[in-house]
Amino acid sequence: MADIMTPALGESVTEATVARWTKKAGDAVRKDEILVELETDKVSLEVAAPADGVLEFIAAEEGATVEPGAVLGRLAEGAVASAPAAAPAPKAEAPKPAPAPAPAPAAAPAAAAPLAPSAQRIVAENNLDAGAIAGSGKAGRVTKGDALAALEARANAPAAPASPAAPREIHAREERVRMTRLRQTIARRLKEAQNAAAMLTTFNEVDMSAVMALRNQYKDGFEKSHGVKLGFMSFFVKAVIHGLKHVPDVNAEIDGTDVIYKNHYDIGVAVGTEKGLVVPVLRDADALSLSGIEKGIGALGKKARDGQLALEDLQGGTFTISNGGVYGSLMSTPILNAPQSGILGMHKIQERPMAVNGQVVIRPMMYLALSYDHRIVDGQGAVTFLVKVKEAIEDPQRLLLDV
């Protein structure tokens, strides 16, 4: 017998959703064959059979939430396929570690203290979310008064959006689909960023002629030498780092009443995938050559599309580049990737008539947008940063000379 356990999910990830079982109880499985897919806030991961045998039962059905160490199912090692055994009462609960001794003075709120009978009734009768009620009782327990207050607060709330507890009716030509955990996380993070930051966007435009000429001149030789195509992203990553070095506020984050400046440049590059947007991080991008950047982005993009991103690939970015241009966007205001303080929006390159030295000339132009957290980056810094990016793209030799 071998329990199939939920693996460690990575730093700061405490639970996962069972996305899909590829086997059902009673199926014969081979060692290392994928049994079940899990989704976390950040990545999808697969759990393989630890040995040859038969999947005896499934403890955590699809849609169940599991913690690291929780039993997903059980494998009868070496057994031959037969009728599935009756599963014991499904238990998605992981064995909890012994609680650490509470610090003496402050009464630590009991996270999962059972509800008092009265609160239990009120919560059940009114579809309240017990976890969302602030408890005023001993060690943070929810009292009847707390539950009544929550009920009253809900009654007084101005036309609250349909609460998940009371889903609205579906009409004939509508379809209800549960948001994936990834989508839910994206939704929550975006809203959190909007709520937390004093976010605004500044724009500029960049003449892509010089970079395009450079690229045209060297693209074959570049590909031959490095085995990777020379794209525009590498120039933008270089240009962004050039700008961040001039305006360190954009590479910093707010922590309480402090500002944390980061002397490393880990650039998140937004990648659209089937399941949604992910932002893998290119580490120490300032130390990479153009070819190194192209290779790195290529590898991350492939991993993202294959659903193979690891948590480490997604954590710890200091600045993000988003490219709406690949879908044809001419101008947009990207939302910050909290707790970062800046995000650059690239857009579609479009030929437009420009006035140059008193002459109208046609130039390949791109609008640039920088959304930034005004709490930490002031207007001058934001504009300066964007101008630095523009200058570096319009005159790539600046990157060489660092001016």
Partner 1 sequence: MAQYDVIIIGGGPGGYNAGIRAGQLGLKAAVVEKRTTLGGTCLNVGCMPSKALLHASELYEAAGGEFATLGIEVKPKLNLVQMMKQKADSVTALTKGIEFLFKKNKVEWIKGAGKITGPGKVEVTAEDGSVTTLEAKNIVIATGSEPTPLPGVTIDQQRIVDSTGALSLPEVPGSLIVIGAGIIGLELGSVWRRLGSKVTVVEFLDRITPGMDAETAKTFQRSLTKQGVEFKLGAKVTGATASKKGVSLTVEPVAGGAAETLEAEYVLVAIGRRPYTEGLGLENVGITPDKRGFIETDHFKTSAPGVWAIGDAIHGPMLAHKAEEDSVACIEMIAGKYGHVDYNLVPSVVYTYPEVAWVGQTEEQLKEAGVAYKVGKFPFSANSRAKINHETEGFAKVLADAKTDEILGVHIVGPQAGEMIGEYCVAMAFKAASEDIARVCHPHPTRSEAGRQAAMGVEGWTMQA
Instruction: Pick the closer one to partner 1 by CB: 117 or 328.
Output: 117
Name the catalytic one among 3, 226, 286, 374. Answer: 374
> What angle in degrees, to the nearest 10, is found between the helix axes of 233-246 and 379-394?
140
d(CA 81, CA 270) in angstroms, rounded, equals 45
* End-to-end CA, the chain: 66
Is 99 one of the binding residues for partner 1 (CB under 8 A)?
Answer: no
Is 121 one of the binding residues for partner 1 (CB under 8 A)?
Answer: yes
Please state the closest distance from residue 330 (CB atom) to partner 1, in A.
58
Cβ 34 vs Cβ 89: under 8 Å: no
d(CA 67, CA 363) in angstroms, rounded, equals 55
Candidates 141, 154, 262, 283; binder of partner 1 (CB under 8 A) is 141
Is 118 one of the binding residues for partner 1 (CB under 8 A)?
Answer: yes
Instruction: Pick the closer one to partner 1 by CB: 85 or 149.
Output: 149
Is 104 one of the binding residues for partner 1 (CB under 8 A)?
Answer: yes
Among the residue ranges 7-15, 44-52, 116-124, 189-197, the one whose residues contact partner 1 (CB under 8 A): 116-124
Site for partner 1 in 205-224 (CB under 8 A): none
Site for partner 1 in 161-190 (CB under 8 A): none
d(CA 110, CA 384) in angstroms, rounded, equals 49
Instruction: Pick the closer one to partner 1 by CB: 104 or 177.
Output: 104
Instruction: Pick the closer one to partner 1 by CB: 86 or 106.
Output: 106
Site size toward partner 1, by CB under 8 A? 15
Instruction: Pick the closer one to partner 1 by CB: 122 or 389.
Output: 122
Cβ 352 vs Cβ 365: under 8 Å: yes
Task: Give the CA radius of gyration of the chain.
Answer: 26
Please state the closest distance from residue 272 (CB atom) to partner 1, in A.
51
Q: What is the DSSP letter of 279?
A: -
Is 117 one of the binding residues for partner 1 (CB under 8 A)?
Answer: yes
d(CA 251, CA 340) in angstroms, rounded, equals 7
Q: Name every residue whose Cβ is closer than 8 Å to that of residue 186 and which is 6 or more positions away in sequence.
A: 276, 277
If you search the block for the tokens 């009728």, which residue do you land on? 83
Clarify whether 374 is annotated catalytic: yes
| Dihedral of the alpha carbons of 30, 66, 188, 190, in degrees to the nearest 10 | -40
Clarify whether 378 is annotated catalytic: yes
Q: Which residues bind partner 1 (CB under 8 A)?
A: 104-105, 116-118, 121, 136-138, 141, 143-145, 148-149
Residues with catalytic function: 374, 378
